[in-house]
Structure 1
Amino acid sequence: MPVSVKTYAGVEEAARALSASRSARFFGGGTLVMRALNEGTQAFDTVIRVTDPALRQVKPEGDRLTIGAGVTMAAVLANRDLAFLHPVARSIGGPAVRTMATIGGNLFAACPYGDFTVALLALDGAVTIAGGGRALNLDDFLKVRDREPRVIVTSVTITRPRDAQAFRFHKVSRIKPKGISVLSIAAHLPQSGGRVNNARVAYGAMGPTPLRVTGVERALEGRSLDASGIAPALAAATERLDPPTDALASSWYRREVAPVHLRRLLLNQAG
């Protein structure tokens, strides 16, 4: 099936064209769309691109930071303001993939992909969508993501950790360092007086989309990050979760290893 490519200078114009066509898909970095095309997809016949440079900007705003949806993993690694996200970007694919893969595209990656989104979720991410600048908490966006495939995310705004040790990320894969996730964990663990205050913990590859582990967050509140302090959080590590079974791991296996790797992350022992 022939595929047409339409390029727009502005995001709003592209968003109108995308929402008007059920046979169109947005082209961010291309790692998802091009794979579908190479596999002979019949799901769409039009690819929409945007050249707006605003999609590739990074803007610090006090204790928050806005990252354009077109920022690539390679650009993250080159940006000092995003140093706390370097380990996350480095875990995604090899150099060729990182020069293409974008922040916005990662938001739409199906399980077990989407590791960068796990980090954004732990950092209280909020997405801005073209077409009036609608803003959604990342938690809410992920719940409706698959029902809204024809929206363009323009940016993601996150909390910038005040302490480098407060943000932690760990990816478990069978092929290192860039394999597909068996499990990924991200946590923002601000502390006050040696006690966790307002923890956010997220998993990848433990559900259909990246998800927050609210039971773990509640169990960590007011606790110290030592073996006794994190014990309640480990007990809640897989509470109410139904991980997928795929070619990488079974649901049972993911449930078994999640507390092990969560413990390593919380004790800052994850490699």
Structure 2
Amino acid sequence: MLDVRHCATLAEAAGLLAGDRHALLIGGGTLVMRDVNEGRLTDGTLVRVSDPAFRQVNAGGARIELGAGVTMAMVLASRELGFLHAPARSIGGPAVRNMATIGGNLFAACPYGDFTVALLALEAQVVVQSGYGSGRAMPLEDFLAARDRGGIGLVTAVQFARPQNPADLRFRKVSRVKPKGIAVLSIAAHLPLAGGRVAQPRIAYGAMAPTPIRARAVERVLEGKPLDAAAIQAARQAALEGCRPATDAIASEWYRREILPVHLARLLAGEAP
């Protein structure tokens, strides 16, 4: 049977998770409770955290830290996080956004996890606490590579640098049902400009591999170029390098490969979704 444990601090929760391999953290419940309700999760311990730090938003400076328990609705309520409103708004409807957390989105299986795609384009770091020790920050890309192996610890927060210009972060989600359908694919692009040329672009895809991935080939062709038709065409030609999309109930591998270059070009050109 399932047992529920309430922890007053992040350290207590991390220690409990480290000592019980059957324990799972429950934040908003949009992932865990679905497994409970559908009978896939019937035994173990569900861990709840009441530590205020878990839901804390520190967005006033150049470096932003968001607690793993911060919900999509909380992101949308913050004017300082306006550059993240598009990916947050893409997560379900209002009821889901009131519950869905940033930490939970990091663990969402493909084709979910659209908010994580935006964090990957921002080169976010994930703060993880193992047992009763202190937390450590690891690149989100490394976290995603190790996520499904387990044993990482308790995710307590994400950290990233604020874009100098909010418009530098672009996001596009392609779904069959709008505005809150499951993603066929999603794209996030951080495109800072220096002297009219792209400087250190970061492009990320969702639903084009088992976890969100960086589009490094696209980043290379855009680096140092003006964001003109020639650069966009070069990015389009490099769009599929490194992609491993799956066929699922939402879309086929073929379809995802066909439409990704089209939507990448539209995003880079600044076209409305």
TM-score (norm 2): 0.96
The residue number in structure 2 matching 1:32 is 31
Contact 2:245 2:257 in 1 (8 A): yes
Structure 1 residue 240, shift from structure 2 partner: 2.6
Does the 8 Å contact 2:59/2:81 carry over to 1?
Answer: no
For 1:165 and 1:121, locate their aligned partners in 2 and report how far apart those are by CA, in whole Å: 17
In the alignment, what sits opposite 1:140? 142
| Aligned-pair CA distance for 1:62 | 3.9
8 Å contact kept, 2:76–2:85? yes
Question: Alpha carbon RMSD of aligned pairs, Å?
Answer: 1.2
Other structure's SS at 2:59 match: strand
State how 1:196-211 maps to structure 2 within 5 Å.
Answer: 196-211=198-213
**In structure 1, distance between residues paired with 2:59 and 2:25:** 27
Q: Which moved more, 1:256-265 or 1:229-238?
A: 229-238
Q: How does 1:1-271 map to 2 (within 5 A)?
A: 2-42=1-41, 44-60=43-59, 62-131=61-130, 132-148=134-150, 151-271=153-273
- Take 1:270 and 1:139, find their aligned partners in 2: how far apart are those partners? 28
Deviation at 1:113, TM superposition (A): 0.3
Give the whole-Å Cα distance in 2 for the aligned partners of 1:180 and 1:170.
Answer: 13
Quote how far apart the aligned CAs of 1:209 are. Answer: 0.5
Write the distance in 2 (CA, Å) between the matches of 1:44 and 1:69. 24
Identity %: 60
Distance 1:62 1:6 in 2: 35
Secondary structure of residue in 1 paired with 2:163: coil
Distance 2:43 2:124 in 1: 29
CA offsets 1:144-194 (integer angstroms, 9 cap, x no match): 001126621111011211112211000000000000000000010000011
State whether residues 206 and 212 of structure 2, in contact with CA within 8 Å, keep that contact through their aligned partners in structure 1: yes
Please say if residues 171 and 184 of structure 1, whose CA atoms lie closer than 8 Å, have aligned partners that are also in contact: yes
Q: CA deviation at 1:42?
A: 4.0
Letter in 1 for 2:36: L
**Alpha-carbon distance in 1 for matches of 2:257, 2:210:** 15
- In 2 relative to 1, CA 164–247 (structure 1 residues): closer, same or farther, beyond 3 Å? same
Q: Which residue type is aligned with residue 218 of structure 2?
A: V
- CA deviation profile, 1:53-95 (whole Å, cap 9, x unmatched): 1111111364221111110000001011111111111111011
Could you tell me whether the CA contact under 8 Å between 1:25 and 1:44 is conserved in 2? no
**CA pair 44-136 structure 1, distance change in 2 beyond 3 A:** farther
8 Å CA contact retained: 2:210, 2:244: no
How many positions carry a matched residue from both structures?
270
The residue type equivalent to 1:158 in the other structure is F
Is this contact kept in 1: 2:227–2:268, CA < 8 A? yes
Give the conservation status (yes or no) of the 8 Å contact 1:196–1:220.
yes
Greater Cα shift, 105-114 or 241-250: 241-250
Q: Comparing 166-175 with 241-250, which one deviates more in the overlay? A: 241-250
- Find the aligned partners of 1:214 and 1:43 in 2 and give their Cα distance: 41
- Ranges in structure 1 where 5+ consecutive residues have no aligned partner: none
In structure 2, the CA distance between the partners of 1:42 and 1:165, relative to structure 1 (3 Å rule), is: closer
Q: Matches of 1:251 and 1:96 in 2, distance apart?
A: 31
User: Partners of 2:186 and 2:235 in 1: how far apart?
Assistant: 17
1:32/1:42 CA distance change after superposition, 3 Å: closer
What's the secondary structure of 1:230's corresponding residue? helix
- What residue identity is the alignment partner of 2:206? G
- Structure 2 gaps of 5+ residues are none
- Tell me the CA shift for residue 43 of structure 1: 6.5
**Cα distance between partner residues in 2 of 1:200 and 1:162:** 14
Secondary structure in 2 matching 1:28 = coil
Q: How far 1:129 sits from its partner (Å)? A: 0.6
1:92–1:154 Cα change, 3 Å: same
Tell me if the contact between 1:24 and 1:44 (Cα under 8 Å) persists in the aligned partners.
no
- 2:71 counterpart letter in structure 1: T
CA distance in 2, matches of 1:251, 1:99: 32
